[in-house]
Amino acid sequence: MRLKLILIGAGCVVAYLGWQELTLARHAKADPVEVSAADLESGKIPENCHVIVKDALALYPASVYHYKKKKYSSGETNDSTRTTDVLYPVISMNHPFSKAMASGTADDKEIESALSSVGIIVKTNRFSTIGSIPKKMDSPAKLQGLVLNHIEKLDSKDANLLRSSFPRLDAEKVVIIEESRTPKSLGSAIGMMAGGALLSLGVVVFSLRKAAA
């Protein structure tokens, strides 16, 4: 019985992931489109959600991360703790913080106020450990990926962690980008949905027939 439930659950998960991929495939093209970080900050998401973001500044020190807790571990993390994914904020060169830093005349209070909110969060698996997350802000050489707003919103726990640095973060409006992700073909997405659905349905039908025998 347990195996049947696992198989039904696995089929549902695959079908759901296929639905996500199908949704993204409908809004993304194989070739990415260039978009400025300033446009994304203002909510201007292009029709093609496969993007290359220009003029972006990554605030790596304010990253939040997910990690897998090892069995029998104390739960404490260190630089060697392996991450499953990292979320780092990105701002444009037009962001109030960028302008405050560039002016050279802003005081600490003005700089802190300018950084009260961000409009772009990037999800990545580029940093495999906590220690590999950069300690300084930097402009990514090439920030390419898929805008995920058609299929997901910022997780409430992640949003609360990010609000410790950006108290006015709007989780409903922030643009979420998965770095290096590319769109699947419509055929692949539909195949995933159909395969997952058939797996779950097949197990249910088999169980009913066996019970009726």
Encode the chain (213 residues) as per-residue pLDDT tens digits.
676 566 667 767 776 677 677 777 788 899 999 999 999 999 899 999 999 999 999 999 999 999 887 665 666 788 889 999 999 999 999 999 988 888 877 778 888 888 899 999 999 999 999 999 999 999 988 899 999 998 889 999 999 999 999 999 999 999 999 999 998 766 676 766 667 666 666 656 656 566 665
Query: What is residue 154's predicted lDDT score, i.e. its pLDDT?
Result: 92
- Among candidate residues 17, 39, 23, the one with its CA nearest the CA of residue 148: 23
**Which residue do the tokens 């994304």 mark?**
40
Q: To 5 degrees, how large is the angle CA 105–CA 121–CA 152?
A: 155
Q: To 5 degrees, how large is the angle CA 26–CA 28–CA 33?
A: 155
- Among candidate residues 14, 30, 18, 16, the one with its CA nearest the CA of residue 183: 30
**Tokens in use for 169?**
């973060």
**Helix, strand, or coil here: 122?**
strand
In what helix (H) or strand (E) does residue 64 lie, and over which residues does it extend?
A: strand 64-67
0.85 surpassed by pTM: no
**Tokens in use for 140?**
């990514």
How far is Cα 102 from Cα 173, in angstroms, rounded to an integer? Answer: 26
Query: What is residue 209's predicted lDDT score, i.e. its pLDDT?
Result: 63
How far is Cα 47 from Cα 157, in angstroms, rounded to an integer? Answer: 29
Query: What is residue 8's predicted lDDT score, i.e. its pLDDT?
Result: 64
